[in-house]
Each structure stands twice: as structure tokens, then as C-alpha cells.
Amino acid sequence: MTLPAAFHVAIILDRSGSMASIRDEAIGAVNGYFASLRIDGAMSGAMVTMTIFDSESVDVIRDGAPIASCAALTAVEYEPRGLTPLYDAIGATAAALEKRGRATDQRALMIITDGHENASRQFSRASILALISQRQADGWLVAYLGAHADTWHEAAAIGIAHGATAMVDLSETHVASGLHALSARYRSH
């Protein structure tokens, strides 16, 4: 008997200082996405990994938590500061997600940022491009939701498909519904 593929989703949320003006919206967007996963029967068994990052640290704050019991993101956990080591956050989160489940499980890596990479020390654009290209070839969904004018260029530069990239205003409704739509489309294929 073949077990159905599990769904592992990882959210990478920019915690750099520029996110301070939209802190409440970012928290609401992530929690809205969590709520949408809980009520969608096809995704209610999702396992969640969540990374928040800035130049002071890259922190995996949820590590394979079942969505049914996954704690909401709080203002205490999410205090914007510092610069944007986006590539380091992607590399750390992909490594955490890689350890989850079986090879046949579905994996989604969701990136939410309002800025450009400017502080990574471990990963370069080239190494992240190679990592993302390999994970997409392995069947992962890798999505990029950006709130800056160069969103499409930045996503393409690290190999993220046009159809999995969106420029959003990082409001709760736009991000939560966008992430849910991408997840549902991916989960159904």
C-alpha cells in the first residue's frame, strides 16, 4: 500500500528593519495563511517550518510543526531589525525542509520579503540559484512574494519561475490568499 504524499511547507519571512512599517500586516498574513491551511481539507495535514531572518540571526522558529497545532506568529517573535540576508535564510530553510518526511512528499518553500539581498555570508546568488533549480527539479514548489519594484528580477535571478512570483503589498489578505492559492494548485497536481 502506498501512503499519500505528505505536504511540508516552509515560510521564509523577512524580519529586516524595512519590515517595521508593515509588521502587523506581515504577522497577519502568515497567520491568515496558517488558518487557510487548517480549514482546507487537502492541506489540513500540512507540516510547517518557518524561518524569520535579519542580519543579526536566521531563526527557524517552527520546525515541522503540524498545522493543526502550529502556534500563530506573535509580535514578540517578530521584531524587525537589521539588514536582509535572504540567501542565507533560503539556504538554512531549504536544509531544514530537506530533512522532513519521505522523498515522495510534497514540499513548498515560500519566500516573503520587501527588500533585496544585502547581508548573506554563507550563500551567494549562484549557490542559491543552483539550490533552487535543483529543488524545483526535485518537484518542490518555490514561490517568491515580494513588495519591491524589482520583485520579478530578483526572483528570476535565483531561478524562481514567473508563475510562482508575485509582487504584493504584503497586506494580510493578499499574502495569505496568494500563498494559499499557490499551495492548493501545487498540492492538487
Q: What is the CATH number of domain 13-117+134-187?
A: 3.40.50.410
Asked if 127 and 117 touch (Cβ cutoff 8 Å), the reply is no
pLDDT tens digits, 95-142: 999 999 998 999 999 999 998 999 999 999 999 999 999 999 999 999
Give pLDDT tens digits for 31-86.
999 999 999 998 999 999 999 999 999 999 999 999 999 999 999 999 999 999 99
Residue ranges per domain, the chain? Answer: 13-117+134-187
Q: Over the chain, what HEC string results?
A: CCCCCCEEEEEEEECCHHHHHHHHHHHHHHHHHHHHHHHCCCCCCCEEEEEEECCCCEEEEEEEEEHHHCCCCCCCCCCCCCCCCHHHHHHHHHHHHHCCCCCCCEEEEEEEECCCCCCCCCCCHHHHHHHHHHHHHCCCEEEEEECCCCHHHHHHHCCCCHHHEEECCCCHHHHHHHHHHHHHHHHCC
- Please state, in angstroms and rounded to a whole number, the distance separating the CA atoms of residues 109 and 115: 18
pLDDT of 132-170, one tens digit each? 999 999 999 999 999 888 999 999 999 998 899 988 877
Q: What is the pLDDT of residue 3?
A: 62
Q: Which residues contact 178 (CB under 8 A, 6 or more apart)?
A: 145, 166, 168
Q: What is the pTM of this model?
A: 0.95
Q: Which pLDDT score, from 0 to 100, does residue 151 have?
A: 92
pLDDT at position 89: 98
Give the count of beta carbons closer than 10 Å to the beta carbon of residue 56. 13
* Cα 126 from Cα 83, distance rounded (Å): 20
